[in-house]
Structure 1
Amino acid sequence: MLTRVLTLAVLVVSCTLTDACTCSLEHPQAHFCNSDFVIVGRVQKLFRGNDFYDAYKVKIRNVFKATPKATLALKSGRILTPSQESLCGITLQPRETYVITGRVMHLQAHVHLCGYINKWREVTPRQRKGFRLLYKQGCTCKVHMNRRSTKSPNTCVAGYDECYERHGVCLHDRSRRCRWTRAPALTRCLQKQHLNGTMT
């Protein structure tokens, strides 16, 4: 308990000094693979906490991924988040449905700004297919948003490209190399991007 309090104290001090939450850019597939749970849920109510955390009551509609501990933690329908944005806390709108990735700590479901939280109606069809099935198949691959190239056969590189973020899924091909899978939406996005680039 003392360790947890000290850790929170250090976190508060460090975040106060920087006065902002900073997160590295990650692909939705990486968020899926690195999370304890991935759900689609409708926000019902916010409970303001007296401590470092607020809690959202969420009606869970779909569970795309959940470890055994996450399954237990999600039974309450309560999701904790830091009470301040400087501590990477998130703000969710009541009666809105979100796709949410998170971690489990002390048998409680936690979410923060560095996870993947997006309104379900704004998630692309390819991302929805990824969350439902394809991202799980690609968890043996590594996806990097912040690189331009790689020699690793187990890595797909997006190079800060929104097309890959919105429409890309990285899977092993027949030669066991990780590659972006072909998809009409991804092809259209890249072609449009290239066309816009040549016109400017």
Structure 2
Amino acid sequence: MSAAVTLALLFFWSVALNEQVTEGCTCLPKHPQQQFCASDIVIRAKVIGTVNSTRPQLTAYKIGTIQTYKQLDKKRIQVIYTRSTQTFCGINLRNGEYLLSGPVEDGRVVLDLCNRVEPWNQLSRIQKMYLSRYQRGCVCEISPCTGASCFIEILQKKCLIRVNNSFSLDDEEALQSICLPGSGGFCSWTKFLE
């Protein structure tokens, strides 16, 4: 076999194996504002219980929307879907109030472990307050940094957030703040008093 054919086969297999690995559930940590801005919907909702699903790989939950923070279309959401718990990213919801944020796929809200799905009573007062303010900061980018690069002043549409060696967020100040544009359009961390 020629070297070119061998190289092509090695490339094909590395791509194929990489595709299988990335189908697992590896979610990079994100600031709550990043999750908000990347989501198609962000709502406070009460999970009422499971209902029959039209998709076998998805579990369907009947919900009652309490408050809408972000929604692309104004269609009332009565059912959300989660990936089956037999898959890598599946979640299981109990009856109760949640903050739900994530994508809309083919007209359905489909959530998994990489989305923000948190019991409402576990959010702090400041986290709840920021939900109505994050939209203003979606013009800003939040970028991870490590070590000395976190202390570099950048005058652009970007806020830095420290991550540690295991790629988890390690910046309590940023986690209690919101990245907003200021004068000149430059973004910076802003903290509001409760």
User: What TM bracket, shorter-length normalisation?
Assistant: 0.7 to 0.9
Q: Is the 8 A contact 2:65 2:77 kept in 1?
A: no
Unmatched 5+ stretches in structure 2: 1-15, 163-168
Q: Is the 8 A contact 1:23 1:114 kept in 2?
A: yes
Aligned residue for 1:43, secondary structure, equals: strand
Whether 1:153 aligns to 2:117 is no
Whether 1:118 aligns to 2:118 is yes
Specify which of 177, 182, 186 is matched with residue 186 of structure 2.
177
- Structure 1's 111 and 47: CA in aligned 2 closer, same or farther, altered over 3 A? same
Q: Which amino acid aligns with 1:180?
A: W
- Structure 1's 125 and 171: CA in aligned 2 closer, same or farther, altered over 3 A? same
RMSD value, Cα: 2.5
After superposition, what is the alpha-carbon deviation per residue over 1:116-141, rounded to whole angstroms, capped at 9, x for unaligned? 11111111222212112x10000000
Aligned residue for 1:156, secondary structure, equals: strand
After superposition, what is the alpha-carbon deviation per residue over 1:139-167, rounded to whole angstroms, capped at 9, x for unaligned? 000113x3233646111112123524641
Taking structure 2 as the reference length, the TM-score comes to 0.75
Specify which of 38, 43, 60 is matched with residue 42 of structure 2.
38
- Structure 1's 89 and 162: CA in aligned 2 closer, same or farther, altered over 3 A? farther
Q: Counterpart of 1:6?
A: none
Q: Counterpart of 1:53?
A: 58
1:111 Cα offset (Å): 1.0
Whether 1:102 aligns to 2:102 is yes
Q: Which amino acid aligns with 2:47?
A: V
Q: Counterpart of 1:191?
A: none
Structure with the higher fraction of residues in helix conformation = 1
1:182 Cα offset (Å): 3.1
- Structure 1's 137 and 157: CA in aligned 2 closer, same or farther, altered over 3 A? same
Identity %: 26
Whether 1:64 aligns to 2:62 is no
1:40 Cα offset (Å): 0.3
Taking structure 1 as the reference length, the TM-score comes to 0.73
Q: Is the 8 A contact 2:174 2:189 kept in 1?
A: no
Q: Is the 8 A contact 2:40 2:70 kept in 1?
A: yes
The number of residue pairs the alignment matches comes to: 165
After superposition, what is the alpha-carbon deviation per residue over 1:88-129, rounded to whole angstroms, capped at 9, x for unaligned? 1211111x2110102111111111111111111111222212
* In structure 1, distance between residues paired with 2:174 and 2:47: 25
- Structure 1's 88 and 173: CA in aligned 2 closer, same or farther, altered over 3 A? same
1:87 Cα offset (Å): 3.6
